[in-house]
Amino acid sequence: MLFKKHTRKLVALSAILALLLGLPACGNQGGTAEGGSSGTAVQGGDPFEAFMNALDTGYSSEVDEAISQMGDDPVYGFRGGASPSEYETTDYVKAEMEKIGLENVTVDETTVDGWTFKGANLTFTDADGAEAKIDLGGYQTTLQAEDVKVKVIYLGKATAKDYEGVDAEGKLVLLDIDQNEEWWINMPTYQAHVKGAMAVLANSAMPVEMPERVGTQDICGPDYAPAFGISQKDTDTLKAAIEAAGGELEVTFNADSKVTLDTTGTNVWGEIPGRTDEVIYMFAHRDGYFHSYFDDASGVGLCLGVAKAIIDSGYEPERTIRIVLHGSEEWGRTNSQCDWGIGAYEQIVNVHPEWAEKGYAIINIDGAYCVEGETTFGIAVGEELAAFAQEVADPLIQDSVYTYRYLTPPSTYKEDINYTRAGIPSIGTAKGEETIFYDTGYHTSADDKELMGFDEDTWTWMHKLYGKYVFAFDQTAVRPMDFSARFAALRDSYNEEIVQDDELFAKIDAAVAAGEEAAAVVSSMNDAYDAAVESGDAEKAASLRDEAIAYNTKLYEYYKLVQDELLWFDGEMGIVFPHEVRQSNIENLNGALAALEEGDAVTAYDEYLSGIDNGWNAQFFDKETVDFFNASIKETLKRTWVEDKYDMDGCYVDEVVRSLMKKADGGSADFTDETAELEKLLEQQQEYLAATLESEKESMDKLAEAIAELL
């Protein structure tokens, strides 16, 4: 189903209302088509064209440049959440918001865990006998050291096996890690902590090699197990020196990395007031790893650049356009498996929960990755807005040199997940099928304008595309949501070899049909509004606008109910339906049992049990390490966007994995005990799934009853 765009029609309505009420018409324009300073506003015209004429991407770039130079580490930058450098961005963007003419500019305080990284380095004698110095990147952990003499050892991947016969007590452990393909940094870091190491020095691999690049990620672990980042080039130098020294090397170590619990973070926002109290949001985040020119100084610059162009063009929006620049997006909660997006979580859950009801939509600019040669991108969007998102963007994309894909459901690795869970749908930036930035610079020292290169044409394009979304949302009377898409995705998510429930499927099929009816109502209301505008009937158009606002409240209530009933997260913190985790566990348990029946232990644990909870990590790390994360997950998900939406019962196959690995190594084919344990777990998961399916039936009943308000 297509949802009509209303750009020309709303300009006509504004002109009608202006004549009747003595107000200036919206759609004023100024400046030149190439951007630059805004010119004198004039009456009439296409408001989006006026926006593009007023667009000053040079201003946006100035914002990027200024924020990317802010950092607590004089070598690499780093703007940790609730750190001095992030506070510096608070003052800067507040002043910029006021300067460009945003109103109601506000700094909200939040309670987050803060991280300040002022740098780390080590000096030593290299393999050639020369003095050498290595600067390190940071992770969100606490370690302060000044000219400390300490030994460094190299342990490869630093798995449990690598520690056999090694004394790591009080030492720095140099290791290699591929967080895209292997495991997260929290596993080898906590493993080192268990072995008594002072800290790890992690050399992070990425698809595109860059020897001098240093990488980092959110730690997803406790702050008392320290980690630092090191480049491949410096790893090679250090490894050679360690080998020359006979297996361990004394270095002089300095570090100033500190986590502060429950401290004060900030979110900064300002707005362009609209004629109604409905709100269109634009997001970006101010914190970042290294200098983070692209992720996300560029997002901040784009948001402010779009806002400035709207103001300078003279456009008077129907809805309030609120720019929110969050802090603590990259990290904000210690020892949590979902430690990102915390600044936004605090904003919508604790500071301004009332924002949800009037939130019309979100445009989240988490990185405008305008690096040289980048032409492949993505748009992240929930099922309900997917058709509208594509309708708005496709005409622009088809006339461009860019290739896009639509990611549905969207990734949770961006802060808007907090707001969508609260009931505001979102569209945001995402990566494409192939991406230079994500394969080369993401969360690394290469996130730098000079290192990656900057494409001015793509920068203008990003303003155009996401600015178009702002106007499209503002110029659509009823929020263009199609709930049938979510219900259809739910119906497609069942493995019918495992789930055979005709009653449930019938309820979902009915929900799909009801969702289509509701989408038809949305289109009908928008068509009626369009007709009133085209006929010049300002009174009727205004009345229909009021009806649309009331209907949008009902859409909010229903979308929030859909989120409450159907939103769930899996072990990767990705969006799933409630039954999918149990269903996946059953699929993997069945696969493992079949492999064991064939006498194949390796396939059982490596292909199947690895997909259940910490089954993968149990192959590589000590029981104490894996048990720590198994035991702590329930507590550490509190005060995050995942709370109450994650399977807390678990399906722990760790001991079976270790037992099967031992038998595979020893040549034993007696899997009686392991089979019995897996069958027990399978029976338990089947019971859990049955209960979940009953709960989903109840959810469909609730949703069926509630959707009547939309029909």
pLDDT tens track for 132-186: 999 999 999 999 999 999 999 999 999 999 999 999 999 999 999 999 999 999 9
- pLDDT for the residue numbered 42: 33
Q: Does residue 572 sit in the same domain as residue 657?
A: yes
CA 648 to each of CA 79, 338, 354, 678: distance values in angstroms, whole numbers, following the listed order: 33, 14, 29, 19
Q: Does residue 438 sit in the same domain as residue 508?
A: no
On the question of pLDDT at 20 being above 90, the answer is: no
Query: Model confidence over 369-412: pLDDT tens digits?
Result: 999 999 999 999 999 999 999 999 999 999 999 999 999 999 99
Domain assignment present for residue 346? The answer is: yes
On the question of pLDDT at 16 being above 50, the answer is: no
Q: Does residue 683 contact residue 651 with C-beta atoms inside 8 Å?
A: no
Question: Where does residue 213 fall: left (phi above 0), alpha (psi -120 to 50 degrees), or beta otherwise?
Answer: beta
CA 202 to each of CA 2, 138, 199, 436: distance values in angstroms, whole numbers, following the listed order: 49, 10, 10, 22
Q: What are the structure tokens assigned to 166, written together? A: 């090694």
Read off the pLDDT band of 44 (50, 70, 90). low
Alpha-carbon span 558 to 563, nearest angstrom: 9
Question: H helices of 260-358, where?
Answer: 298-313, 342-346, 355-358
For residues 560-584, give the mean pLDDT: 97
- pLDDT for the residue numbered 25: 34
Burial level of 265, CB count in 10 A (0-12/13-18/19+)? buried
Contact residues for 143 (Cβ-Cβ < 8 A; gap 6+): 120, 198, 199, 226, 255, 257
Question: Where does residue 662 fall: left (phi above 0), alpha (psi -120 to 50 degrees), or beta otherwise?
Answer: alpha
CA 688 to each of CA 350, 577, 700: distance values in angstroms, whole numbers, following the listed order: 33, 14, 18
- Identify each DSSP E strand in 126-244 by its residue range: 131-138, 143-154, 172-177, 199-204, 227-229
Domain assignment present for residue 641? The answer is: yes
Q: Does residue 518 contact residue 707 with C-beta atoms inside 8 Å?
A: yes
Q: What is the CATH number of the domain that holds 322?
A: 3.40.630.10
On the question of pLDDT at 7 being above 50, the answer is: no
Residue type, 393: A
On the question of pLDDT at 610 being above 80, the answer is: yes
Domain assignment present for residue 1? The answer is: no
Alpha-carbon span 518 to 6, nearest angstrom: 20
Alpha-carbon span 492 to 588, nearest angstrom: 19
Angle of CA points 135, 138, 144, to nearest 5°? 85
End-to-end CA distance of the chain: 17
Q: What percent of the chain has pLDDT over 70?
A: 94
Q: Does residue 502 sit in the same domain as residue 599?
A: yes
Q: Using DSSP, how many helices (H) and how many strands (E) does the chain show? A: 22, 15
On the question of pLDDT at 38 being above 80, the answer is: no
- Overall residue count recorded for the chain in this entry: 711
- pLDDT for the residue numbered 367: 85
Q: Does residue 466 sit in the same domain as residue 492?
A: no
Q: Does residue 287 sit in the same domain as residue 154?
A: no
Query: Model confidence over 666-691: pLDDT tens digits?
Result: 999 999 999 999 999 999 999 999 99
For residues 612-639, give the mean pLDDT: 95
Which residues form the domain of 61?
Answer: 7-115+261-474
Alpha-carbon span 375 to 598, nearest angstrom: 48
Parallel, antiparallel or unpaired: strands 227-229 and 131-138: antiparallel
Q: What is the CATH number of the domain that holds 228?
A: 3.50.30.30
Greatest Cα pair distance, the chain, in angstroms, is 89
Q: Which helix or strand (DSSP H or E) is residue 114 part of?
A: strand 103-125
Read off the pLDDT band of 580 (50, 70, 90). very high
Q: Does residue 231 sit in the same domain as residue 380?
A: no
Alpha-carbon span 90 to 323, nearest angstrom: 13
Q: Does residue 174 contact residue 124 with C-beta atoms inside 8 Å?
A: no
Q: Does residue 407 sit in the same domain as residue 504?
A: no
Residue 660: how many CA atoms within 13 Å on its side-chain side? 32
Q: Does residue 320 sit in the same domain as residue 373?
A: yes
How much is the CA Rg of the chain, to the nearest whole Å?
A: 27
Q: Does residue 141 sit in the same domain as residue 230?
A: yes
Query: Model confidence over 519-554: pLDDT tens digits?
Result: 999 999 999 988 888 899 989 988 999 999 999 999
- pLDDT for the residue numbered 648: 84
Domain assignment present for residue 239? The answer is: yes
On the question of pLDDT at 22 being above 90, the answer is: no
Domain termination residue (choose one: 258, 278, 295):
258
- The 10 Å Cβ neighbour count of residue 496 is 8
For residues 286-296, give the mean pLDDT: 97
For residues 221-245, give the mean pLDDT: 98
On the question of pLDDT at 24 being above 90, the answer is: no
Domain termination residue (choose one: 258, 285, 311):
258
Q: Does residue 126 contact residue 240 with C-beta atoms inside 8 Å?
A: yes
Cis before 409 (ω within 30): yes
Q: Compute the Cα dihedral for 20, 26, 32, 34 and give only its sign.
A: negative
Read off the pLDDT band of 83 (50, 70, 90). very high
3-state secondary structure of 461: helix
Query: Model confidence over 483-494: pLDDT tens digits?
Result: 999 999 999 999
- pLDDT for the residue numbered 5: 31
Contact residues for 352 (Cβ-Cβ < 8 A; gap 6+): 108
- pLDDT for the residue numbered 403: 96
Read off the pLDDT band of 634 (50, 70, 90). confident
Q: Does residue 590 sit in the same domain as residue 666?
A: yes
CA 90 to each of CA 67, 269, 292, 377, 622: distance values in angstroms, whole numbers, following the listed order: 10, 10, 16, 29, 43
Please report the DSSP string for 422-459 in residue order. Answer: HT--EEEEEE-SS-HHHHHTTTBTT-SHHHH---HHHH
Q: Does residue 68 contact residue 60 with C-beta atoms inside 8 Å?
A: no
- pLDDT for the residue numbered 120: 98
Residue tagged 């789930």 (tokens): 499
Q: Does residue 429 sit in the same domain as residue 488?
A: no
- pLDDT for the residue numbered 154: 98
Model's pTM, two decimal places? Answer: 0.93
Q: Does residue 651 sit in the same domain as residue 510?
A: yes
Read off the pLDDT band of 60 (50, 70, 90). very high
Domain assignment present for residue 657? The answer is: yes
On the question of pLDDT at 13 being above 50, the answer is: no
Domain assignment present for residue 2? The answer is: no
Domain termination residue (choose one: 417, 443, 474):
474
- pLDDT for the residue numbered 530: 83
Domain assignment present for residue 171? The answer is: yes
Alpha-carbon span 319 to 276, nearest angstrom: 5
3-state secondary structure of 414: coil
On the question of pLDDT at 420 being above 70, the answer is: yes
Domain count, the chain: 3
